[in-house]
Amino acid sequence: MNMKKVTLFILGFVSIVTAIQAQQSLNEALSGFPYQQKNTVAQTLSNMNEWKSSSWKQFYKMLDDDSMRTSASFALSAYVHQAATNPASSTRAAAVLKQGVSVAQSFLAKDIVIEMMGLLGDEANVKDLSNLLKDEQYSPRAMRSLATIKSPAAIAALEKALIKASPSLASQLKLALDFAQKSANSPKTAEWVILRPATPINKVQHLLDVQNQIEKANNPVDKRQALHQMENIKGVAALLVCAKYLSDPVLQKQAALIMARNALADPSIRGVAPREALEQALPLISGVDSAVLVKTLKNYLKAIPYDNGWVRLFNGKNLNGWKGLVGNPISRAKMTEEELLKAQSAANAGAGNDWVVEDGLLIFTGHGDNLCTVKQYGDFEMFVDWKITAQGDAGIYLRGSPQVQIWDTSRREVGAQVGSGGLYNNQKNPSKPLQVADNAIGEWNTFHIIMKGDKVTVFLNGVKVTDEAILENYWDRKLPIFIREQIELQAHGTYVAYRNIFLRELDPVSTTPLSDAEQKEGFVSLFDGSNLDKWIGNKTGYALEDGVIVTHPELGGGNIYTAEEFGDFEYRFEFQLTPGANNGLGIRTPTTGDAAYVGMELQILDNEAPVYANLKPYQYHGSVYGVIPARRGFLKPTGEWNQQHVIAKGNRIKVMLNGQVIMDGDIQKASENGTADGNKHPGLLNKQGHIGFLGHGDVVRFRNIRVKRL
């Protein structure tokens, strides 16, 4: 018995070692995919033609493994494409794929194999594909593969399946069968057949349709097929909607790729919501172009502005950012602070019962009052999805005033036949929509609302229904609409649900003009948001955008300097860092040479970023670089604007950041026994020079720049 156990152990051990060696051999053989060079791919494919069944079994284990699927799937695709054009290899490839259908364990692996059967186009796979038509999970992919083969046997299999098909599959089978019958006499091709309905009339309705298809899909294939359509829907709304699927294991990688390509195709997409969504997508990106795409997206994320961008008004989880309704804008203005706080507390308690969050939807229960944004808004652009039930009545208040109308168009007794999207409470200006664009009751609709000044434009499901109509002040018609006020979701006694509420403010980023006090003190503006006339240097690498100065490393970055020179001065400016950003403030410096040495450089740095974990004390933000260290811990979170004051008087340099003194030192005393970094800093002796921003290859923004000579 002992000898038998030893023998069995040895045999088992040898078997394990052999399997490991076989796996390693396959890994090495396929290591070049998906970046295989032409001179080596031929040999790899030739070797694959000689593989035994055991090697293919190991291969399909790789296809099951998320960490190895990419190289395996590209290798299988290359193998099948070669076989599809070589009748001598086609029969063997069909047998290999037949084995794969039975051996592959994961949905994604088996889905790839079924797709390859269609690409190969061999009659030998028709029987297996026909059997898969009975499997609800794999039937959509199987029917498309049969449609690609388009042989008499394949067509017969589709016809037979259609007779017994469930209603949910019948429409897809009809499409597949129609394609196969119409193209049966055309040459065989290795191109994949995408079977889906024609693109809807506009991208807004298309986006609604895609979400509806994903929601109703009862298997992973249909979900992925539906999401694939979002490749062709661009814009911020599509990007943020796609982000919902990053938490779905079936869709998350596909969604991440779609989002990345969407963002890179539209440089106008900016703000907190897109940034957070793309940062969540970044680690999920994989595939043939992932290396380049990830690098490009990282650079994009670092550069996009934080200001005037898109935000989510509803997070899909709770009522954060929302409050209950207190009176109206006029009555609220008459309340004391104490009265308003007390009334708001009571209103918030009621709102928590009247408005609920379920399955990512913001739902009005049918009793209670309006739900209001905590923040007030002036000019803005907004997307919001809504859905009502029969006899429904609701609306969107803009700047605290009623309202962009929502209602059931069958309610002719109240005039609802005109459709939703009009400014219902207008009396002098247009109140009715230009046309009816509502979807059926119980289906989702999308408002795209743009408000500039007192004019409102509304698109409903991609159709313009209100065109720059003036919104009247319902609360006092003798007054114009309020400049800034809250947005409200109207409660009108019937069920209404909202989702996908995105907004961006259109108020321009403007430079704050010099105050009377600053002018009396002797400050002058070096940048008023309109031009760079008072600056010299690389004005290509430092561009004027949205009223601020933005560094552009891809355009050379570099340095810009004040045209004038300054000796003793007080300098005030605001700056906005991007993650890990590095810049500098040069003072008393010439325009050539390294300002940190030929002049002085005060660090401008996101020193809280992980990449700067090992900084020297004299390298922190606000330090006189290499000479006097600054205190840390006073930078605002990345993306927020920081206020900095610098006073240079003789040998004394003082830096205040966001109201806190972070550095106050004497450069002569600090360097009399040598500088902290051990380098020579001859610029410390300069009596005057230029003030400049010193680029180090990162995006930083500057505004509200003023100076006073001392």
pLDDT in tens, 594-640: 999 999 999 999 999 999 999 999 999 999 999 999 999 999 998 88
**In the predicted structure, residue 185 carries a pLDDT above the cut 80:** no
Most confident by average pLDDT, 87-91, 176-180, 431-435: 431-435
**In the predicted structure, residue 664 carries a pLDDT above the cut 60:** yes
Name beta bridge partners: 528: none
* More reliable by pLDDT, 187 or 88: 88
* String of DSSP letters for 117-176: HHHHT-GGGHHHHHHHTT-TTTHHHHHHHHHHH--HHHHHHHHHHHHH--HHHHHHHHHH
**Mean pLDDT calculated for residue range 73-82:** 83
* String of DSSP letters for 394-427: EEEEETTEEEEEEE-TT-GGGTGGG-SSSBTT-S
**Mean pLDDT calculated for residue range 370-382:** 95
Write 60-66 long-range contacts (CB < 8 A, 24+).
Answer: 60/99, 60/100, 60/103, 60/104, 60/109, 60/113, 61/23, 62/23, 62/26, 62/27, 62/30, 63/100, 63/104, 63/106, 63/109, 63/112, 63/113, 64/104, 64/105, 64/106, 64/109
Would you place residue 192 in the very low, low, confident or very high pLDDT band (cuts 50, 70, 90)?
Answer: very low
pLDDT of residue 61: 87
pTM of the entire structure? 0.66
Centroid of chain to Cα 458: 24
What residue spans define the domains of the chain? 203-312, 322-505, 516-709
- Give dist(CA 300, CA 274) in Å, integer: 11
Instruction: Please tell me the CATH code under which domain 516-709 is placed.
Output: 2.60.120.560
**In the predicted structure, residue 520 carries a pLDDT above the cut 70:** yes
Answer whether the bond into residue 305 is a cis peptide, omega within 30°. Answer: no
Are 322-505 and 516-709 the same fold in CATH?
yes
Contact 287, 272 (CB under 8 A): no
**In the predicted structure, residue 159 carries a pLDDT above the cut 50:** yes
Q: Average pLDDT, whole number, for the chain?
A: 87
- Give dist(CA 637, CA 675) in Å, integer: 31
**In the predicted structure, residue 218 carries a pLDDT above the cut 60:** yes
Would you place residue 446 in the very low, low, confident or very high pLDDT band (cuts 50, 70, 90)?
Answer: very high
Q: In this structure, how many other beta carbons lie within 10 angstroms of the beta carbon of residue 80?
A: 25
**In the predicted structure, residue 19 carries a pLDDT above the cut 50:** no
pLDDT of residue 586: 96
Identify the DSSP state of 471. Answer: P
* String of DSSP letters for 364-380: E-SSS--EEEEEEESSE
Q: What percent of the chain has pLDDT over 90?
A: 55
Superfamily for the 322-505 domain: Exo-inulinase; domain 1 (2.60.120.560)
- Give dist(CA 143, CA 118) in Å, integer: 9
pLDDT of residue 569: 97
pLDDT of residue 513: 85
pLDDT in tens, 264-277: 888 788 888 999 99
Would you place residue 509 in the very low, low, confident or very high pLDDT band (cuts 50, 70, 90)?
Answer: low
**Mean pLDDT calculated for residue range 485-507:** 92
Nearest C-alpha neighbor of 353 from the set 374, 324, 328: 324
- Give dist(CA 649, CA 652) in Å, integer: 5
Least confident of 68-82, 120-134, 409-423, 524-538: 68-82
- Give dist(CA 189, CA 81) in Å, integer: 10
